[in-house]
Structure 1
Amino acid sequence: MNTVTIVDGRLVVEPHGLDKLWSFTRRLDIPLSEVKGATVDTGVRREPRGIRAPGLSIPGKYAGTFHRDGEKVFWNVGDPVRNIVIELDGTGRFDRLVLTVDDPTRTENAVNSALST
C-alpha cells in the first residue's frame, strides 16, 4: 500500500510498512512537471513486469524497480483491484509508477486535478 500526495508542486509517494523494505524505497518525490497523468487500472497486475532489479516479485506482491522494453517502472502492488498507474515523462528516475492505494479514484482525481492547475 502507498500514500500519494501532492505537496508544493511535487508528487510524493510513500510506501507503507514492509513495502519500504521490499521496494528498497522510503519515498519518491517527483516534480509535477514530470507527471503526465494518472489512471485507475484494475488489471495492471496481469501486465508483464520485466526484470526486477532491485525488489520483490512473488505471486500477488510486486515491489521495487522493474525494467522492460527500455522502460524503468516502479511497482508497489499487492491488491488485485485498488491499483493506479501514474505516467511520467521519462526524464526522471522512472517512466511509470504502478501503485496500490486506498482509494484509486480519489488518487487519480487528485493527481490529474493538480496537473490541470
Structure 2
Amino acid sequence: MARISIDREHGLLAAEFQGLDKLWTFKSRLEVPLAHVRGATHDPGIDREPKGIRVGGTHFPGVITAGRFRHDGERIFWQVKNPDKAIVIQLADAETYDRLVIEVDDPRATVALIEHSIAQS
C-alpha cells in the first residue's frame, strides 16, 4: 500500500511505499511534478487489464502486481495487491511513466485530494 501526499510548496505528488511494497516495487518513494498530473480515478477493475511486459518488479497474477511495466508503448507503474483499493493516476509530459496504478488505504479520499490539488495548481 502507498501513502499519497501533495507538496504544494514544491509542486509534487509523492507516493511513499510501506513495508514489503518497497521490495516488490524496487522503490520506497515516487515523486511526480503536480503539473504533470492530469487526473485520478478509483478503478477496482484495473486489475483485469493486461499488464504488458514487466520491466522491473513483481507479478504474481491474483496476488500482486508491482513495479514497472510496458503495454502498447505506455509506461505504467503498478503497486496493487487489493484491486478494490486501486487508483489510477494519469500523467502528461511524463518523463518516466504515463500512468500510476497504486493501491491506497482510502481510494475516494485520495482521488479527491489529487483532483482538488490539480484544480488549484
Q: TM-score range by the shorter chain?
A: over 0.9
CA deviation vs aligned residue, 1:83-108 (integer Å, no higher than 9, x gap): 10000014321000001100000000
Q: Which runs of 5+ in 1 are unaligned?
A: none
Question: Which one has the bigger helix percentage?
Answer: 2
Establish whether residue 66 from structure 1 lines up as the match of residue 84 from structure 2: no
Q: Out of 92, 110, 113, which is 2:113 matched to? A: 110
Give yes or no for contact 1:34–1:92 (8 Å, CA) kept in 2.
no
- Paired letter, 1:6: I
Aligned pairs, number: 117
- Point out 4+ residue stretches in structure 1 off by more than 2 angstroms: none
Measure, in 1, the Cα distance between the counterparts of 2:33 and 2:93. 12
Measure, in 2, the Cα distance between the counterparts of 1:78 and 1:58. 10
CA deviation vs aligned residue, 1:7-64 (integer Å, no higher than 9, x gap): 1321000111111111111111111011000000010011101001100000220000
- Paired letter, 2:108: T
Q: Which runs of 5+ in 2 are unaligned?
A: none
Establish whether residue 42 from structure 1 lines up as the match of residue 40 from structure 2: no
Measure, in 2, the Cα distance between the counterparts of 1:89 and 1:71. 12
In structure 2, what is the equivalent of residue 80 of structure 1? 83
SS in 1 for 2:44: coil
% identical equivalent positions: 45
Q: CA RMSD in A?
A: 0.8
Q: Out of 93, 97, 100, which is 1:94 matched to? A: 97
